[in-house]
Structure 1
Amino acid sequence: MWYLCFHFFSELQVDVGFNRNITLPVNSITIYGAAWPPSPKNHPYSFEWSKVFSPANSKAIIAGQHTALLSLSNIDVPGVYGLKLTVRSEASYGHGFVNVTVFPAVRNNKPPVAVIYPKFKEITLPIQKFVLDGSRSSDDDKIVKYEWELVAGPLNYYLKKKTNPVLQLTKLDPGNYDFKLTVTDSDGVKNSTLARIKVNKAMDYKPVALPGPDVLLYLPQNSVVLNGSGSYDDNGIVRYAWTKLHGSPEIADMQGTTSPVLHVTNLVEGHYVFQLNVTDTAGQMASATVTVVVQPEDNKPPKAVAGPDKDLVSPDDSTFLDGSSSSDDRGIVSYLWRKVSGPNSFVMSGAKTSQLKLTKLKLGTYVFELIVTDDRGLQGKDTVNVFVKKDDNKAPVAKINGDVTVKLPKNEAVLNGSLSSDDYGIVRYEWTRSSNSPAIATILEDSDHKPILRLAGLVVGKYTFTLKVVDQKGLYSVDKATITVVKGDAMENLVEVKIDTQGHTFTNQNKMNLLTTISLSLGISGDKIKIDNIHEINSGGISVVFYIVDDNGKVQKGAEIVSTLKSKAFKNLNRKYWIVAIDTYLCHNNCSGHGVCDNLSKRCVCNSFWMENFIKAGIQGQSNCEWSILYVIIICASCVIAIVSIIWFILYCCRRYVQNVDFYEEFFIESCFKIL
């Protein structure tokens, strides 16, 4: 049975033609396959194409896999593509192979471009290294070879063969160098370019000599070190030479005269000048001088300060003595404390330091001496007393210099409590104001904790102050004093001139001009005008307050002064100054006996149930409190009632008149109809 099957299965001859070759960018091909013998009409062959191998990453597309005509398209990767065609029927079978070789696209080569950076460079020695960069050369494919050569240059310079993109140059001599770069691409095409380097000789500058700063010495110091190592040159200094110039003292020993550092010893009092000469590699020289001044010894003895005396009250038996305030022009090198006199019983520590600690002191008076010594052996001395007393402290005694009376416009006062005393000293002063004293008053400079109390801004009334003094043991004593403030003659007759200007622009010359104008207007001498104060006003401007005295020193009435200035001099003053108002400083208006006048605004502040007669105030220009609010209400209510009554009566009469007219018209019409 197997034999029969094999015998009737025949092999077909499959023809797919010769292997094909294509070159990109052609990326498709058509292949036709055939079989022999031809297929019977009623049993056609079946065709099947398959890809046997292909280049990696190929994205080629096969179309017509089950037909005799195969299309291979989208060929993107060069290489060999192996294809197999299988033909079969019910009783026959055959296959064939074909290769499609794809060559890469033929490149249109462009010549390379040789580039050297920089094209020209000028350098100055001692720069010995330089780089020419040829890596910026380019080609459409790639550069496979770089060749550098020296075209022109100094005779003694030789350039070895260089094949790197970057040429490093060293040990260049002065002169002009022309370098050529030749680049070769993958197709063997070459291109060249040139670059020039100009090398200048090194600039050799003169050296600079620096012998160091001038020196001031005081004997017995008689040596100095002069350092010239700060001298410099661009190529180096090869020789140093120190000399002492003519005119310097003859006595001096010099060591290291050919080195950067000079040691000078055995100097004497005088003025030395040393010169440093330096020479560089080219033989160029430079020099500079340094001065050494040697002065005689100017040492003064130290000043010992043992500190203030100490007062101790038993059982306090220890204290410190401080000598750290001692001083010397050269510095203190040692301290020494010792007892000069006093009881033998005590203990001290730190006798060789600036601070001495004393303990276990007994009743009596100790005297200690401080000895300080400087570095030249000179000494200074000072003594300090330590008093150790029994505790017999007595209370201090507070004492004020007495009561004080102040007459306005003066509004300052002083209470002196410095006469208070205590056997051990007062440590605290306290001033307090009594509760029934006026609250208006300013304590200046925190003087309520000082021996002398200073007050300002006083007003009319009686101030009572109590002084309390306290000693070191807490015992205290008190004393009282009274400050009585009354109105003076000048206070009642002060005149105020308000000027519309800023305080910082009103100079002393402006004040003198104002006083001169007022004195001329009043026909008096300038010394008769007494300035009380000049101050800024909260609402803006400044206020000048003054009063006038006659030849006998009597204060003249302020109201008369104001009237005279307003009638004679106001316009004259107003031409020179922006004067807002001239009036008495205190308001003298009695406000009709029903209020008080405000000194600042010069207007009445009426009592309860009273108000201003604004009609009279408008005519006379003076505030008042003439009208009773109760009477004004009654009069206003009466007027309202009277007006309402009159209006009602008029309306009533009009109504009656209208009614009568209507009656006569109706009667007349009826009569006419009867007649007709």
Structure 2
Amino acid sequence: MQEGDYTFQLTVTDSAKQQSMAVVAVTVQPESNRPPVAVPGPDKELIFSVESTTLDGSRSTDDQGIALSHWEHVSGHGAGQVDGRDGVIAAAQALRAGAHRSRVTVTDPQGLSGTSTFTVAVRKASNSPPRAHAGGHRVRVLPSNDITLDGSRSTDDQGVVSYLWVRDGQSPAAGDVIGGSDRSAALQLTSLMEGVYTFRLQVVDGQGALDTDTATVEVRPDPRKSVLVELILQVGVGRLTEQQQDTLVRRLAALLNVLDSDVKVQKIQAHSDLSTVIVFYVQSGPPFKVLKAADVVRNLRRRLSKEKADFLLFKVLRIDTAGCLLRCSGHSHCDSFTKRCMCSQLWMENLQDGESNCEWSVFYVAALALTVLGLTGGMPWLCLYCRRKRTKIRKKTKYTILDSVDEQERMELRPKRGIKHRSMEHNSSLMVSELEFDSDQDTIFSRERMERGNPKVSVIGSLRNGAPFSYCSKDR
């Protein structure tokens, strides 16, 4: 029907052919449907690291009702996306810092539609870096060998999102991390041994800012280390029953043969897949006294050598002190696993009565002896050589008595028998030296000596105090 007025007449007839009529008027008016109005809600402002928000189009209107809604991401930084885009309510995801625009389109049953945009602004907040707190210095005393380092006291204004515990490279390698706890707030460690361990905790917040803190674990030796005995048996720890353990303890006490001795087992653990280590100490009394581990080990070794191999139910692989008590002559350290001295340089291990010790190395002793012998024997030769180098060569001199002296004077001037050639210069003042070398040696005569000599002898030259005198070959 088109727009306008229409009149319809209805005629009805019965079986007797009687009729009746009625008239109906129909007016067709022009269409009055309006398009819907899309209302996505007010714009939003979010603080990073919030990456999603709700898109609500439920307030959109139409005179005939909304038949369809559709959302789409129009613009924005990053890979923004819309989940549930064909519903009245959707969600904007993967939002990054900046402005993000989404558009909603609503359609009524007549196919008319309306659109509107929705803006989400994401801005970065002023972020403070986290503060790591690893727990500081902790102390453990053996045999307690496990500990938990708590980093949950670390703080951040937006919350810590990750934890990481890292062992320092200079720390002992002993100690196991339980259940991947090195990536959680609390680090759980077990099987620690004596030493100082350093762990660094790194915490990271949602924006990637990080901070670190250090915790140290000092594992101190067992105060009963000097009295603990270590017994290793050839049996898996899982096969050692409680009843066998009780029998083993009773037989150990019987072997010791100490009045009212009591074997106190401190721990039982696997040494390998096929061996078990039992650590214990022995107490006697009353009065109660803990026996020294070295004495217990020595006694047990002697007693076990006289018993059957299965006296302790299983084969004994080793029995020794739990801690290394060797002094190693003070020139090395004792390895806690092998119970033997790790001797330093110039020293070598010596097993005396089955006990490890350190003594001078034969090689170094021989080298030192040869060095001392060489120095002792070479010093006199070295001193003699240096003395010869420093001593000047003496010139030989030949003396001649002057011809003008008579026989009596010659006799007086001759040296006495047995007097060496060098002493002649002290017995006469009337001698002229003739040098065997090219140059003549200067001779000085003192007035005092001339007066003591023969008064008949004429002096070739005399000297005054302080006056030089030269005697040359032409003066002869």
Question: Which TM-score bucket, shorter chain as reference?
Answer: 0.3 to 0.5
What TM-score comes out, normalization by structure 2 length? 0.47
TM-score (norm 1): 0.34
Higher relative contact order (CA 8 A, sep 6+): 2
